[in-house]
Amino acid sequence: MKTRVTERLGIAWPIIQGGMMWVGVAELAAAVSNAGGLGIITALTQPTPDDLRREIERTRALTDKPFGVNLTLLPSVKPPPYAEYVAAIVESGIRVVETAGRSPREYIDTFKAHGIAVLHKCTSVRHALSAERDGVDIVSIDGLECAGHPGEDDVGGLVLIPAAARALKIPIVASGGIADGRGMAAALALGAEGVNMGTRFCVTREAAIHDDIKQALVKANERDTALIFRSLRNTARVFRNAIADEVRSIEQRPGGCEFEDIRPLVLGTRGREALRSGEVDGGVITAGQCIGLIDDVPTCAELIERMVAECRERLSVASLQAA
């Protein structure tokens, strides 16, 4: 199953595990890479650049296959020491970086000088074109269905994926709403050359998430997510729990709300503790609409093997029907 994505990243299957805060750690990344996909560890999950160096070494102890590092670049009053994280990535010999948030243009020359492929996440064609001009190698295009931040344009993958594939010369990876081989086949048919999954990999045995959270996602359907931060124009899709409902209620008050009104509810530390403790209503839990397609907790190897077989079957059936 060769595409420009598999060839550039050195992987067997065009399946990438998205970088996820608190979840993208060595055990999950190594499991995905060992199964032929591309595992991703999340830089900012690590408190310091030196901690990231140690996490990279932990991952190398668990796999001899390619894996990458996610670096999310966000505007902040007190930003992390991004340049130091970049240095840790480069000095550790990483060959793939997934960037998200603002453009990674200020670091692209550094990455390219060290032979590092840059995969940048975008939620619109215009931003994808900008990333292509900046020199990224691959664009991961996120539809409205995705977990986390889908942007403010509200365009689903069925339109966004082929629109991006038509507009860009570099390869694209489809992200958002994909949880099985049917979605993978659809993404490839729409012009993507790979898929990126976050929520689906959260519900695997290797994900460092309490089983009560995984089971809540298994039991959920496609209507059990919520869009929060809409009034702040920083939309995020999350699992619909008591915290999400309370945030939405505050946002809908007459006159709207300020971020400070909801800050205590959405603290990242609360979300991290919920994932660890299994308290479903303990904090914000990021999840995409594809939870409606998830009904088990496989190993990463079982999931990827099943997806590839199902994808091939669907593409074969579509080819026969077309003939």
Q: Are 199 and 227 in a shared domain? A: no
Name the residue among 94, 142, 87 with its Cα closest to residue 118: 94
CATH code: domain of residue 108: 3.20.20.70
How many domains in the chain? Answer: 2
Report if residue 319 sits inside a domain. Answer: no
Q: Are 96 and 39 in a shared domain? A: yes
pLDDT of residue 74: 87
pLDDT of residue 319: 67
pLDDT digits (tens, 9 = 90+) for 209-221: 999 999 999 999 9
Q: Are 34 and 84 in a shared domain? A: yes
- Placement of tokens 């729990």 in the chain: 241
Report the alpha-carbon distance of residue 11 to residue 196 in Å, rounded: 13
pLDDT of residue 317: 75
pLDDT above 70: residue 320 = no
pLDDT of residue 57: 98
Report the alpha-carbon distance of residue 313 to residue 305 in Å, rounded: 12
Cβ neighbours of 108 (radius 10 Å): 20
Cβ neighbours of 287 (radius 10 Å): 28
Average pLDDT, the chain: 96
28-38: average pLDDT: 98
DSSP-derived secondary structure letter, 286: B
pLDDT digits (tens, 9 = 90+) for 73-90: 987 778 999 999 999 999
Report the alpha-carbon distance of residue 279 to residue 209 in Å, rounded: 11
Which of residues 277 and 318 earns the better pLDDT score?
277
pLDDT digits (tens, 9 = 90+) for 85-106: 999 999 999 999 999 999 999 9
Name the residue among 33, 34, 29 with its Cα closest to residue 19: 29
pTM for this model (two decimals):
0.96
| SS3 at position 282 | coil
pLDDT above 70: residue 323 = no
Domain range enclosing 70: 4-206
Report the alpha-carbon distance of residue 136 to residue 5 in Å, rounded: 13
Report the alpha-carbon distance of residue 179 to residue 181 in Å, rounded: 7
41-45: average pLDDT: 98
